[in-house]
Amino acid sequence: MQEHLILGQVLCFDGDPRKLGLDTVHHESAGGVLIRDGMIADVGDGAALRAAHPSVPVTDHGSDVILPGFVDAHTHYPQTAMIASWGKRLIDWLNTYTFPEEARFDDPAYAADIAGRYLDLLTANGTTTVASYATIHPASVDAFFAAAQARNMRALTGKTCMDRNAPDNLRDTAQSAYDDSRALLQKWHGQDRLGYIITPRFSPTSTPEQLSALGLLWAEHPDCLMQTHLSEQVDEIAWVRDLFPDARDYLDTYEAHGLLGAKGLYGHAIHLKPREISRLSEVGAALIHCPTSNTFIGSGLFDMSLADKLPVGLATDTGGGSSFSMLRTMAAAYEIGQLRGEALHPAELLWRATGGSAEALHLSDKIGRVAPGFEADLCVLSLSSTPAIAQRSARATTIWEAIFPTIMMGDDRAITQTYVAGTPVTSVP
């Protein structure tokens, strides 16, 4: 049995503060987390835990805040090397930057290099769980899962399926999408901390036949998640209307082919119609908010009031998103909320990046909370990582005033430690 006691300020969420209020958040100003064999065994007053376990090794993080590790619910690891590419909107951006880069992932060595680099960037930024798209190449899925398995990370991905409106070297077929996805699912799903996600990129790049094939696969494996994109940009929606003239709306292009369900993850979802909102709510599907991507590519402003009706996770959406940091992502979510007339509370921002995303990924019984019985995926956050942040947080009279400057101005320098299954994986002096 391996035990480790870490000390610091501790924030514990019992649920969504948007729906349940701030009483769901508990702050221990001098707290502790007892880790046993990769799991959280106890949480509470640091001195009391130390006295109760005098022989357990201790790491004292001082006034730094112990949080759940961040959960990034929608991203594209193959776009790591092309992040922050200038000047395009969605469709041109895909053709100019994304597709040429994704074509390189037919090389297993290249896929392995990017996968390792990407996951290391995540943990340096305090992210311990990620749901990513791969490319059409099975090797891209193998590389990602192998890199995550080597790091003992909780990670999810799937072969990104496209059989039209993409370069010839990035197209599969309805049958090969089904066959490849099924084989990869059987190889990786449920291994260690890994999960397979059935992944049609979006309706414009899949024929109805391919969408139906993936809907069939999902029906055969309902324990899997399914991820795709929905209503990201207005010109994309017009394109979908031209491609699917009989569909009631964008969501119907998925629903008609068996790709609407409670374990569906619908990225962006900015320009939804009332029927789409109603159907998503009826089935309990999750929306994934990607704020830095939405502003960087000029997509629009997500309506966070949808979180009153639906699970909403938070995501970087790299490389359309402009940062690997969930702190920067929370800051962008706050800014978008302000533009829509709602100032999101720091507690909600932190929840979206942890427990909210875990809920969207159907992992809320395993990750996203600092509580006994949960996996010890944690990040430790400095509230004085830069002089600008330090001088502002020094004036704080509440934990929320203290932590908000780091949400708005923090980056990887604010992450003093990341723990994956109880093991420290990165440390910044």
- pLDDT category at 227 given cuts 50, 70, 90 is very high
pLDDT of the residue at 428:
41
- The predicted-structure confidence for 126-141, as pLDDT tens digits, reads as follows 999 999 999 999 999 9
Residue tagged 């106890």 (tokens) = 42
pLDDT in tens, 232-241: 999 999 999 9
Q: What is the mean predicted confidence (pLDDT) over 263-272?
A: 98
Terminal-to-terminal C-alpha distance of the chain: 29
CA-to-CA distance for 292 and 353, rounded, in angstroms? Answer: 14
Q: What pLDDT was estimated at residue 61?
A: 98
> Is the pLDDT at 429 greater than 90, yes or no?
no
pLDDT band with cut points at 50, 70 and 90 for residue 145:
very high
Residue 311 DSSP class:
-
Query: Does the pLDDT of residue 150 top 80, yes or no?
Result: yes
H or E element at residue 254: helix 250-255
- Give residue-wise pLDDT tens across range 393-407: 999 999 999 999 999
Return the closest-CA partner of residue 64 out of 104, 10, 18: 10
- Structural domains in the chain plus CATH codes: 3-69+369-427 (2.30.40.10), 70-360 (3.20.20.140)
Q: What does the pLDDT look like over 268-326, one tens digit per residue?
A: 999 999 999 999 999 999 999 999 999 998 999 999 999 999 999 999 999 888 999 99
Q: Residue 68: is its pLDDT beyond 60?
A: yes
**Amino acid identity at 194:** L
- Average the pLDDT over 210-234 and give the result: 98
Residue 87 has pLDDT above 80, yes or no: no
Other beta carbons within 10 Å of 295: 17
Are the C-beta atoms of residues 379 and 417 closer than 8 Å to each other?
yes
> Does position 93 have pLDDT exceeding 50, yes or no?
yes
Q: Are 192 and 151 in contact (CB under 8 A)?
A: no
**Residues above pLDDT 90, as percent of the chain:** 94
pLDDT of residue 92: 84
186-215 mean pLDDT? 98
Distance CA 352, CA 314 (A): 6
> For all residues of the chain together, what is the average pLDDT?
96
Identify the three-state secondary structure at position 33.
Answer: strand
pLDDT band at 94 (very low <50, low <70, confident <90, very high): confident
